[in-house]
Amino acid sequence: MRLGFGCELSEDDDRDLVFEYAGRRPRYALDLTEFYLERAQSTSSACTGFAVSQAVFARDSHEGDEPELQSELGLYGNGRMCQAAYKAIRLSQSVETASRVAWTRDSGTSLRWVFKGANRYGMCAASAWPFARRRVTTRPGFGVMAKMRKNRKLRYKRIYGSGAGLVDGMLDALADGFPVVRGARVPQSYVDHRSGVLGPPKEGFESLGGHATTLLGYQNEEVFESGSWDDWGENGDGYAWLSMSYLKATTREAWAVEAVPA
């Protein structure tokens, strides 16, 4: 089975808002799982776009708004374009050329660039630019880009910490009703997972790549994660229940999606 990865580690930036949490929260049941959507990135590197799209949909739904799935391709593409533009500026190169080339390369990007790309270039409904593997390296037309520029902006905050502290921060955000997107290392046990609660990986495991997913709830010592792979997870339905020890061992970064203003 061929899988897509594509999540780079986000750089630290003092301009990012930081999610403040008080520490360990009671492990009471929290449930955004009813807003889970089964989608798949195929063999592309678009996991960051899928993770943020799921988080936006869940946040909209939780707030009682009329939910509309945002284009995973648009989020991923605009993230790559924003990353390329920033690099071009630093190197005194053509931003226009770098941005155009970025759309032609399925090179992956970080969650931070997807957030920044959404706020700089906008988002559009998935119905306007639906996912297809062949479209990953194709820039949408002017009509779709115009819709992106007119759309909403995100308010997101980075959850800092390491190990158990980072896990507590993610739970705190979920307890407040905020979907959490995380960038993680992937052990073979995650790829092979099909049922039950995924326990901690072997000590010193080799990571197969960087992957972005969305956390939508937890109960006791188990967290619900929405993925973006075909035939993966619980009964092959694209989601999994993870142990806290698994989260602690694999999470590299996490972000809370707090609001999606109209």
Angstrom distance (rounded) from CA 211 to CA 201: 15
pLDDT at 1: 57
**Of 14-23, 75-84, 144-153, 180-189, which range is least confident?**
144-153
Phi and psi, residue 124, nearest 5°:
-140, 160
- pLDDT higher than threshold 60 for residue 29: no
- pLDDT higher than threshold 90 for residue 18: yes
CA distance to 191, 193, 240, 254, per residue, from 237 (Å): 13, 11, 9, 23
pLDDT at 28: 58
Angstrom distance (rounded) from CA 11 to CA 221: 30
pLDDT tens, position by position, 182-237: 999 999 999 999 999 999 999 999 999 999 999 999 988 899 999 999 889 999 99
- Domains of the chain and CATH, by start: 7-259 (3.90.70.10)
pLDDT at 148: 84
Averaged pLDDT of the chain: 91
Angstrom distance (rounded) from CA 128 to CA 35: 21
Taking residues 100-109, what's their average pLDDT?
Answer: 94
